[in-house]
Amino acid sequence: MATFKEFRNNVKPNWCPGCGDFTVQASIQRAAANVGLEPEQLAVISGIGCSGRISGYINAYGLHGIHGRALPIAQGVKLANRELTVIASGGDGDGFAIGMGHTVHAIRRNLDITYIVMDNQIYGLTKGQTSPRSAEGFKTKSTPEGSIETTLSPLEIALSAGATFVAQSFSSDLKQLTSLIEQAIQHKGFSLINVFSPCVTFNKVNTYDWFKENIVNLEQFPDYDPGNRIAAMTKIMETNGMLTGLIYQDTTRKSYEDMAVGFKPEALAKQDLTLPEAEFDKLLSEFR
């Protein structure tokens, strides 16, 4: 059985020192090993942004897609190979701005994939502009007088769209985040994990200390029931979305794959997917 070290490769991340994305990467690697996966059984699909680079830093199948399109690609990968464990990842701009339409429809379809959003509440790769997750009054290069837009609530949207697994964590909590990713992988359906992942270079408001002072851990509520959708929505609104832990899970709804009619895995197994080298070179030449 693979250890988390076998999910490492020799590519050194070029994130800023202290970036929360380092912990997200480590949590994915640890979770994959803990649930018994081998590197060839995992595919990590990412979008654009600092966090989008994560697919190249994990020893598994990986694809760095275009802005906002990680989820369409991830869904295609999962439908083409049902045996793969598929994780899509990206930032709050990638998932909740240009990619929000894909996010909502992926949620309602309930494909058996995990979507991890690294939420730093700013556009980091393009040097610090306001994102859909930035607070009202947030001052950046794109909103020098302060943002006048309402902060988007991805957790409320996910529940409204019919999500069957919703969780949130903080990149400073490796143990909790690893556990949530393990649960998400094992959940049969679409899993959304929003991760507070501070941008240490451009976001001087939502810092590690700020999150530690404002986060409410669901472990503080021993009677909390993640199977109660109404209670989940209420708790999200009571804490202004600043809660961490497993917020909601529905284990009764079937995944998209289980309900799809006409899929015959035995027919797929009989197909010869071998691609001659000459044909492969011809395909590559079309992108040069």
Query: What SS3 state is found at 182?
Result: helix
Mark the ranges of the chain whose per-residue pLDDT is less than 50: none
Is residue 285 in some structural domain?
no
Is residue 54 in some structural domain?
yes
Is residue 277 in some structural domain?
no
State how far the Cα of 68 lies from the Cα of 19, in Å rounded to an integer.
21
Return the pLDDT at 270: 67
Number of structural domains in the chain: 1
Is residue 274 in some structural domain?
no
Q: What is the CB neighbour count within 10 angstroms for residue 170?
A: 22
Query: What SS3 state is found at 142?
Result: coil
Is residue 264 in some structural domain?
no
Q: What is the pTM of this model?
A: 0.92
Is residue 169 in some structural domain?
yes
Is residue 66 in some structural domain?
yes
Query: Terminus-to-terminus CA distance in the chain, angstroms?
Result: 39
Question: Which residue range(s) make up the domain with 153?
Answer: 4-257
Q: What sign does the CA torsion over 135, 69, 13, 194 have?
A: positive
Return the pLDDT at 284: 84
Q: Are strands 85-91 and 42-46 parallel, antiparallel or unpaired?
A: parallel
| pLDDT tens-digit readout, 29-83 | 999 999 999 999 999 999 998 999 999 999 999 999 988 899 999 999 999 999 9
Return the pLDDT at 125: 87
Q: What is the CATH number of the domain that holds 177?
A: 3.40.50.970
φ, ψ for residue 168, nearest 5 deg: -145, 145
Is residue 263 in some structural domain?
no
